[in-house]
Amino acid sequence: MAKAGGSSRNRIELAHFLRTRRSRLSPADIGLSVSSGKRRTPGLRREEVAVVAGIGTSWYAWLEQGRDINVSENVARAIGRALQLDRSEVRYLYQLLGISPGQDARAGVEGLGLDTGRVVDEWLPNPALVVDDLWNLIDSNASARAVFGIEEGDRNLLVSFFTSERVWSRYPDPDRVAREAVAQFRAAAAARYNDPGFSRLVASLCARSERFAALWRSHEVLDSRKKRKEIDHPDVGRLSFDVHTWRVDGADGIRLFLHLPCRASDTRAKLETLLRQQEPVVREAQPTAS
C-alpha cells in the first residue's frame, strides 16, 4: 500500500488532478443514466466516480480532499479506469501516489549511460537537445540552436518559450505547442513537486506568463513521445520534423530529443543551408595557430 502521494505537496496536486479529471466527464461518458434537474457544477460527482471505481464514496472524497490515506495499485488502477485516464495520466497518478508499477521494456533505455554532448553533435545536421525534467537545457547542437533560436543566455526551454517572442513566434501554432509543453512538463516533473527549484520555476513562470499560468491550472499531463513539430524560421522558412524522445537517465529525468526532417519536406536541405551560414561565425571564433 502507498500513502496518497507521500507528501503534502503531492496530496495537494493529487486532489487538484482528480477534480480536474472528474470535471471533464459526464455521467453518459461512463455509462450512467442522468437524473432530471440541473447540476450545480459540470462533470461527474464524487459518488459517481466511486461507484464506477468500486470504492467507498467517503474514501474517494477524502482522496480528493488531499487527506493522507493509503492507496493500493489496484485501487489506483480502478480510479484511472473510472476517470478514463490515458496512459500518461495513469503514470502521473502513480507518481503522485508514490506507486512503482512493474518495469516495462522502456526500463532498458532509461538505464543507459551516454555522453550526451557527443550524441547531439553526432546527430548533425539534424537538431538534438538534452533537457532534465524541469526543462533545463543540458546539451544542444548547432542545428538545434539555429532552428529554435536558442541563445547564450537561454538556460530553460520552457522559460524561453513562454517569455521570449523570439522563440514563441517560430511556431506556426504556438497555442497548441504551449498546451502540449505544459502537459509534458507536468508529467515529467511530478517527482520534483517537493523540490524548491521546481516551486521557484513554476512560481516564476506563472508570474511572467498568463498563458503558462492558465495552462498550469488545467492540470493536463502528456507523454513526450514521437510527434510532429513545425518551425517557421525567419531565414529559411518552414521546417518540419518528426521528434523522437529517449530517456537517458531515469533517476534524474534526463531526456534526449532527436529531430528527424520529415521525408516529404525540404527540411534537410534548409538545415544544411543554416549550418553553412553559421560556419564563418564559428571559424572566426576559433583561435589561430601560432
Q: Flag whether pLDDT at 262 surpasses 50.
A: yes
55 versus 113: the higher-pLDDT residue is: 55
The answer to whether 162 and 141 have CB atoms below 8 angstroms apart is no
Is-contact 69 99, C-beta < 8 A?
no
- The per-residue pLDDT for range 220-245, each reduced to its tens digit, is 998 766 689 999 999 999 999 999 98
64 within 8 A of 46, measured Cβ to Cβ: yes
pLDDT at 154 over 80: yes
The mean pLDDT value for 172-196 works out to 89
Residue 284: Cβ-neighbour burial (10 angstroms; 0-12, 13-18, 19+): exposed
- Please give the helix or strand (H or E) that residue 277 lies within, else none: helix 267-285
pLDDT of 71 over the 50 cut: yes
Give per-residue burial for 86-96: e unless 16+ CB within 10 Å, then b.
eebbbbbbbbb
Average pLDDT over all residues of the chain: 84
